[in-house]
Amino acid sequence: MEQLRAKKGFLCDMDGVIYHGEELIPGAREFVNWLYKNDKKFLFLTNASSRSPKELRQKLARMGLDVGEEHFYTSALATAKFLQKQAPGCSAYVVGEHGLYNALYDAGITINDVDPDYVVIGETNDYRYEHITTAMNLVNRGARLIATNCDMTTPVAGGAVPACRAFVAPIELTTGKQAYYLGKPNPLMMRTGLHILGLHSAEAVMIGDRMDTDMIAGIETGLDTALVLSGVSTRKTPEDFPYRPRLILNSVGDIPDKDLAYIIPPDMKG
Catalytic-residue membership of 13 = yes
Q: Say which residues have a Cβ less than 8 Å from residue 129's Cβ, sequence separation at least 6.
A: none
Verify whether residue 224 is a known catalytic residue.
Answer: no
Residue tagged active-site, from 13, 117, 209, 224? 13
> Are the beta carbons of 236 and 268 closer than 8 angstroms?
no
The region, left, alpha or beta by phi > 0 then psi within -120 to 50, assigned to residue 215 is alpha
Q: Compute the half-sphere exposure of residue 196: CA atoms within 13 Å on the CB side of its CA.
A: 21
Alpha-carbon distance 51 to 115, whole Å? Answer: 27
Q: Which residues of 136-146 are buried (b: 16+ CB within 10 A; e: fewer)?
A: bebbeeebbbb
Strands (E), the chain: 9-12, 19-20, 23-24, 41-46, 72-74, 91-95, 110-111, 118-121, 144-147, 153-156, 159-162, 180-181, 204-208, 224-228, 247-249
CA distance 74 to 46: 5
Question: Annotated active-site positions, please?
Answer: 13, 15
